[in-house]
Amino acid sequence: MSLDKVEQRMQELRATIVRHDELYHRKAKPEIEDGDYDALKRALSDLEGEYPLFALTDSPTQRVGDDRSDGFQSYVHRERMMSVDNTYSDDEMREFHVRMVRELERDEFALVVEPKIDGLAVSVTYEGGKLVRAVTRGNGVEGDEITANARTIATLPQTLTGTAEAPLPDVIEVRGEIYLTNEEFQRINAEREEDGLDLYKNPRNLAAGTIKQLDAAVVAQRKLEIVLYGRGYTEPVDAWPETQQQFHAWVKAWGLPTVEHQWVAHSAEDVLSAIRELDAVRGGFVYATDGAVVKLDSIALQRTLGATSKAPRWAMAYKFEAERAETQLKAISIQVGRTGVLTPVAELEPVQLAGTTVSRATLHNQSELARKDIRVGDFVAVEKAGEIIPAVIAVNLEKRPPSCQPYVFSETCPVCATPAVQLEGEVAVRCPNRECPVQVRRRVQHFASRACLDIEGLGEAMVDQLVEQGWVKRLPDLYHLDRQNLLTLGKSVGKSTDKLLAAIEASKQAELWRFIHGLGITHVGTAAAKDLARVMGSLQALAEAPMEAYLRDKESVISGIGKTMAEAITGFFAEAYNREIVADLAAAGVEPEAPNAGGGGTLFAGQTFVLTGTLPTLTRNEAAEMIEAAGGKVSGSVSKKTSYVVAGSEAGSKLAKADKLGVTVIDESTLREMLDG
């Protein structure tokens, strides 16, 4: 390759990497996988080493990816916040160990191997034991101050207390990662799928996008977690333990969440053995891990080795290759969501991937489908994004059959044939027909679900029949069902029909928050619905409330309802169709029970409960309702503020966390005794 072509290739690589840095760090919407991105940086780094004449001091290989975004104030780190160099190679990990042996002039030292949690890097500062600041890594020198959003993380203590064994410095910066558990990621995506919205690709992108929301109320709805595993600035400057292992012990003693799994190694082969062990067990972790981080244990030796311009020389990340499988795309189907969004889904020749058989995979949206030029008949690479959701990653063009034609996205709804629309500023293509049978089914299923009205007998099969017969086209139609019509749905259905009609009639007096949640307003989940019910007092008041009812001088009026949610609520009721739904529900005799109308209890006032595992006789929803009826609060995560953890069989990490924090653990029978007074 001529020097001119080398220089041109390096310029192309820099431009490509900068573009992908912007997508990954600032927008949390990467277009390529981590392995492909790392390969680009490795190619540029190799060329810079071979042709130093063309190397630049501000090359993306020499700096930390910048995650700063508009809307947040910048804060300069008092101690630089670096990233970690990485490798996918056993030999390079061995070379890392050899380099430390050479530079330390000793071959006996300990290393700590920790899981590499896939999240957003953050630094939290405590002064006098009080949480005063949370800042993203940014460009390593300064980052976005996200303190208000970080305070919504239930597992991040607002205050710390030192001990004799673990004294607390006057000022301390602790570095770590904000992430989402796999369970929470799946919950959020299930809700989005129900709403017909694009699914998030992996927990990391969702966590990064969430913590950068300008509305803390939206952040609070998504149960972010945090893990802390590194040190930053301190006062006094030497107020740190002597080893990384001791650091973890101190952080834990202060009440901060830290990594649960660690291995200690004394040689390169010990390190690789620990990495293999981590790879074997990480499937059982509650969070996504994309590798291991190997750190020199001694803090003094860490200082001896120092750092490059962007990474410590005493640490190295070993990244796991994502498991991929190749299979043939047999068809592309279009799913219609509750809000009318048309989502393309790949129908695949079944293939084994990460221990499961995969026959369907998300294609995300029309633009993604077109960008990757995915065609029916292609042989495609499938990967579990974040090791959770199967997704089509790439097309094997060498195997593309000559008969493959570019996929033409449907111009009409595949269910009702209504012309599809694409609203300005949206990626999504929608069916605008409110009476599209699939949309109606999904809206009614959501409305009648346990999380909303909990109407017994109104399951998916019954909803399908009601919509198919044309008896239910809008939610209020449920309250006008004709008994004689229902009796035609099968033999001996008299008793079940009467039970269903009785359940629908009884739902007219359900709690107000259930109706609010049941309407399907974007961003309004159970917690927000309860907040709204408490303040508004009726569906009509909610439908008529102006923006000033939620925001005044840019400040939230209702706790838990911020700008994003306020805009979603007022936008929902700005549509005449939705206002008519509320009016017609009232005309049908719906009279929701306002909060405290039934004399809500105060037995558990001020107490917070967390439910985990399978209870003997109660579902989690039933237990939560009993606790809330007694004035208590139910949270999804354990913290120092938790009063009780109610544990059933197969209780997992929440039980372990309760033990660590000294939170009282009770069973169902004890809960019932407490409720009985």
Give me 257's structure tokens.
Answer: 């969440």
Cβ(428)–Cβ(197) under 8 Å?
yes
Total residues belonging to the chain: 677
Strands (E), 180-213: none
Which tokens belong to 657? Answer: 């966390």
The b/e string for 366-381 (b: 16+ C-beta within 10 A; e otherwise) is bebbeebebbbebbbb
Site of tokens 């834990």 = 252
Spot the catalytic one: 41, 116, 384, 654. 116
Q: Is-catalytic flag, 116?
A: yes
Full 3-state SS string of 619-674: CHHHHHHHHHHCCCEEECCCCCCCCEEEECECCCHHHHHHHHHCCEEECHHHHHHH
Neighbours of 240 (CB within 10 A): 15
Nearest to 114 by CA among 294, 364, 363, 235: 294
Instruction: Provide φ and ψ at 473, rounded to 5°.
Output: -120, -20
Q: Among 637, 631, 543, which Cα is nearest to 585's?
A: 543
Residue 116: beta bridge partners?
291
In whole angstroms, how far apart are CA 260 and each of 137, 179, 263, 320?
23, 15, 10, 19
- Tell me which residue of 278, 274, 271, 318 sits closest to 97, measured CA to CA: 271
**Three-state secondary structure string covering 459-500:** CHHHHHHHHHCCCCCCHHHHHHCCHHHHHCCCCCCHHHHHHH
* HSE-CB for 38 with a 13 A CA cutoff: 15
Q: Give the tokens for residue 225.
A: 């977690």
CA–CA distance, 490 with 465 (Å, rounded to integer)? 11
Using CA atoms, how far residue 113 sits from 138, 176, 253, 653, in Å, is 25, 15, 21, 21
* Cα dist from 521 to 338, 446, 507, 536, whole Å: 11, 11, 19, 15
| Residue positions annotated with a catalytic role | 116
